[in-house]
Structure 1
C-alpha cells in the first residue's frame, strides 16, 4: 500500500549534479545541500558531496519508483534534498517526484549529459534526437535510425556501447560512426571513437553517452518515417496488411502523440507497429488469437524499434475486457465474431476513432449496416501491381479492401436499434 503523504507536503529541493561533483554546483545548489536535514540520492552521487553536507544520507533502494512515497513520508517535517544526474527534469527523478507530490518540487538543474555531449560534438541540440536506454531495451533505437541523422543514446551502463554497436550492424547501420563520451564534465572525461562495423572497444566507464552519426549500409532496406513500410520489413505468414492499404489505414486512424491503439486481429502486427513508430509516446495493444503469430508480432515490434508494443494472445472480444480505454481501434480480423464490433464501439470514448478493413462479402455487409446507422466513411480500396505478361507488362489486381472509418458521435447514430451481427469468424 502506498504511504499517504502528510499535509503540508514535504519540503523537497531537487539538485542536479554532474560528474564534476561539488565543484560544478552553483551557490544556490550548495546552500540547498548544506542546509538539508536529509539528502537522498544514488550512492555514486552521495559520494560526490563533502563533509559540509551534514544531513542524513539516504541511498535510493531498488526499485526506485515504488520507494519514493515511503521515503518522503518517513522524513516528513525535515528539509529534504534529492540529488539527480544533470537536469532532474530530463529523464530524471524530477518527474517522479512531481507525480508523487502532485506539484513540482523546487528544482535546481545542472547541464544535462545531452547539453555536454552536443557542446563537445558541435551538434545543435534542437537537431539531435535522444533515445534513453536506462531501464529500457536497446531495440528502441531502431525506430530512430535514418541515414544522415544524429542520435544521442543515454546509456544504461558500461556494456551498452557494445550492445548498441551490435544492434546497428544487425539493422543495416554498420557504417555509422559511434563515439562513446564518458564522464562528461568531469576530470575523467574521455571519448572512444569508431564505427559500429569495427567496434571492438572493451567496456569503459558506466557513466557514458553514445553519439551516433547514422549511415545506412548500401544493401540495407530503407525504412521511412511515415506509415507504409515495405512489406519486406515484416516477418509474416501472409497475414499482413499490405503496404498501400496499411498507409491508407494509418491515415484513417490518425495517430497523435500519447494516444493508445487497440489492434484487433494483429496478424503480423504491422498496423500497431507503424502506429507506434509515428511518435515515441504512442502506445498500442495488439490482440492475436494464434500464439505463433503473437510471437511473430513481438519479433516484428522489436526489429522495427517499438519493443513496448503489448501483445495479447487471445480471441476478441473476450481478450479486450482488461485493456485500458483506447483512443482508436483497428479491426483487421475477426469482424464477424459475435459482439466484437459492439464491444469495440462501446469501449471507445467520445471522439475515439474506429477503422475496420475486410475483403469478404459477409463482413462488408456488416460494415455497411454499421455505416448506415453510425455514419463515418465507407470506401473500397483497390491496388494493382504491374507484372510480366509474356513479353509485355500488365496489371494484376489485388483483392479489394472495404474500409469503414468513423469517429464516435461524429455525426452520431443515424438510426436506433440493435446491430445484426452475423455468426462465424472472418479473418
Structure 2
C-alpha cells in the first residue's frame, strides 16, 4: 500500500510553556519546516534550532490565508497555533482553504482543558464563550444562575469588560477568576466578584472562569422562547410573550438555520430564534429606522449582537438577502408581492409563519391556507386583572396564525 501524500501544511498547537511543552512529532515538524507562520508571540517561543523562515500573521488574518498559502506553495510549511488549532483556532481556516486532506494538525491541550484542570470543572459540563474578535454582548445569552462559564479573552482589558457587563445584566454577584498564562511557569490566577472588580489589567493571555449568580430582583431570562415582555425596549410593536412562544414553536428553529423576520417591530422573534442555539442566524427587516435602531439595542442587551437588521420596506428590502430556512411575517401581509417574495425565497422544506390581528390580512391567510394547507390557528390570551375588589379576565386581541412548510408554489 503506498504511503499517504505529505500534507501541504502541518499545524502545530503550542501552549504558553512553549518549546518544552511540545511533543516529539511537533518538534520534528518545526525543525523540518522551511517556513513557519504564526503570531509574533508564538514565533518568539521557538528556539534557534528551528531555522525556518518565520512569517508573522498579518491583521486581519482570515482574508490573508489564501495568499499566504499560495506564496509558500511547494515549501515545507508549518503553522503555529495557540493550544488546539481546531478549537476557535486557525486550523478551521486552513482546512477550509487547503482542504482537510492537505492539513495535518498536531494539537496541544487547549486553554479550556488547562482551565478545567485547574478549577476541577468537568469539560463536558462547562460552556465556553469566545470574545476573541467578537462583542462582549454575546456573553449575555449564556448567563444563567448557577452555570459555570469559561470566557476566552480578547486581551488584558477583557476581564474588566466582562465584569461591567455582568453588573449591567444583573449578574454582579458572580465569581470571576482570571487564569493567566495557563501552563507556563508564570501562570497566575486572580479572583474576585464582578460587583467589586477593580483589578488592574493583567496578562493579555488569559481565560475568565465565571460562576454565574443572579442578583436579587434581576430579571430572569429563560433559555426557552417566551421571554418576559419587560425584557424588551419597545413602543408597543411587540409580539407578546405567549404568542411569541407559540410563534417560535411553529417556526421550529434548528442549529445553523437562517430566519427572515419581516416587520421586526422590536426584534423579539428574531432575537429568540437566535437564542435557541449559538449557530442560529437571523435577518430582521424593519421599515421604521427608529424601530430598526431599537431592534439592534434589544439584540445587544439579550446576547445576540450578530442579528442583522435591514432598515427598509419589504418586499424590496429582501432582494439579494441569503436564502432563509424559515420566514416570519409579523406585519405588512397586504403589501403587494410581499407574501409571494417570501415564499419564492424559501427552499423546499422551508417554513413560513405569518401572524395578523386584522380581518383583511386574516382573509388573505385563509385564502392561502385553502390553497396550500398548513395550519391555521387563532391564538387568544386573557390576563387576570383587578375588577373593583374582585378579579376578572381582560382579553387581548386574538391573533390569527398561518404556518406552512413549502412543498409547492403559491397560486
TM-score interval, smaller chain: over 0.9
Distance 1:9 1:391 in 2: 83
CA displacement 1:171-197 (0-9 Å, x = unmatched): 000000000000000011000000000
Greater than 2 Å deviation, 4+ residue runs: none
1:34-183 correspondence runs (5 A): 34-104=31-101, 105-183=103-181
Determine the structure 2 residue equivalent to 1:3.
none
Give the TM-score normalised by the residue count of structure 1.
0.94
Distance 2:251 2:8 in 1: 45
Distance 1:376 1:163 in 2: 47
Say if 2:225 is the partner of 1:227: yes
Distance 2:360 2:7 in 1: 62
Q: How far did residue 328 of structure 1 move?
A: 0.2
Count of residues paired in the alignment: 406
Determine the structure 2 residue equivalent to 1:420.
none
Determine the structure 2 residue equivalent to 1:27.
24
CA displacement 1:53-93 (0-9 Å, x = unmatched): 00100000111111111111111111100000000000000
Q: Is the Cα–Cα contact under 8 Å of residues 10 and 76 in structure 1 kept in the other structure?
A: no
Determine the structure 1 residue equivalent to 2:335.
337
| Unaligned residue ranges in structure 1 (runs of 5+) | 1-7, 418-427
Where 1:44 maps in the other structure, the secondary structure is helix
Q: How far did residue 9 of structure 1 move?
A: 9.6
Where 1:197 maps in the other structure, the secondary structure is helix
Say if 2:263 is the partner of 1:265: yes
Q: Is the Cα–Cα contact under 8 Å of residues 264 and 295 in structure 2 kept in the other structure?
A: yes
Distance 1:313 1:9 in 2: 50
Q: Is the Cα–Cα contact under 8 Å of residues 7 and 104 in structure 2 kept in the other structure?
A: no
Distance 1:133 1:9 in 2: 35
Selected match of 1:218 from 216, 219, 226: 216
Determine the structure 2 residue equivalent to 1:312.
310
Distance 1:405 1:78 in 2: 56
Q: How far did residue 322 of structure 1 move?
A: 1.6
Where 1:209 maps in the other structure, the secondary structure is strand
Distance 2:390 2:8 in 1: 79
Distance 1:9 1:109 in 2: 18
CA RMSD of aligned residues (A): 1.0
CA displacement 1:258-292 (0-9 Å, x = unmatched): 00000000000000000000000000000000000
Determine the structure 2 residue equivalent to 1:283.
281
Distance 1:87 1:102 in 2: 18
Q: Is the Cα–Cα contact under 8 Å of residues 10 and 79 in structure 1 kept in the other structure?
A: no
Q: How far did residue 11 of structure 1 move?
A: 1.6
| Unaligned residue ranges in structure 2 (runs of 5+) | none
CA displacement 1:113-162 (0-9 Å, x = unmatched): 00000000000000000000000000010000000000000000000000
Q: How far did residue 103 of structure 1 move?
A: 2.3
Q: Is the Cα–Cα contact under 8 Å of residues 257 and 279 in structure 2 kept in the other structure?
A: yes
